[in-house]
Amino acid sequence: MASPLIGERYVRDIPIAPEALSGRLRAAINNRPRRMFGVLKVGSEWVGVVAGNEFVVWEKQGHATRATGRIKGRRGGSRVEAVIAVTGRTRILTVVFFALFVIASLGLLAREEGLGIGPSGLAVAAVGAFVTLTLFWSASLRQRAALRAFLDGVFREREPE
């Protein structure tokens, strides 16, 4: 089970040489996404860095979640080990946005024409803060699933078509 704060481990044993898998990953992250009418991006655009047998991959527009890992040689093939997690920058920004939301809510509640800083006003602010955190959390889960699917596609046993 994945920890929402630490991330999830991605481990695959594949009967292919590590160099071939590194090359496969390099080719996959250097592909331009499909475009409709040559302008509108239809698929995800994966970017990252592959240095030797270590890699970092993320989706260009949804860059809050990254996969950081390595490809290790083992008898009969390779072992891919990665951690798919929210970046530290994203964690910091989430805390900052949450704090700004709380400050703005209290500022609006304290105004004369506001609900006032009472039980009903604080309940509205708490629900708003909960909805904000839920939106951030669900977006990170979607990005994590998309990243896992991308890695599954790159690190499958057969050669890609």
pLDDT in tens, 112-149: 776 667 777 778 778 888 888 888 888 888 888 989 99
Please say whether the beta carbons of 22 and 53 come within 8 A: yes
Predicted confidence at residue 114, as pLDDT, reads 64
| pLDDT at res. 39 | 67
Q: Which is more confident, 159 or 45?
A: 45
SS3 at position 40: strand
Residue 2 pLDDT exceeds 60: no
40-41 and 8-14 as β-strands: parallel, antiparallel, unpaired?
A: unpaired
Q: Are 8 and 70 in contact (CB under 8 A)?
A: no
**105 CB-near residues (< 8 Å, 6+ apart):** 124, 125, 128, 129
Q: Are strands 8-14 and 77-86 parallel, antiparallel or unpaired?
A: antiparallel
Residue 159 has a pLDDT of 58
Q: What is the pLDDT of residues 64-95, one digit of tens each?
A: 889 999 999 888 889 999 999 888 888 888 88
Angle, CA of 86, 87 and 93, to the nearest 5° = 100
Residue 67 burial (CB < 10 Å; 0-12/13-18/19+)? buried
The full 3-state SS of 109-145, as one line of letters, equals HHCCCCCCCCHHHHHHHHHHHHHHHHHHHHHHHHHHH
What pLDDT sits at residue 6?
A: 63
| Confidence at residue 72, expressed as pLDDT on a 0 to 100 scale | 92
Q: What are the tens digits of pLDDT across the range 28-55?
A: 887 776 767 766 666 777 888 899 889 9
Which residue's entry shows tokens 């809510």?
105
Closest CA to 14 of 81, 72, 77, 83: 77
pTM: 0.76
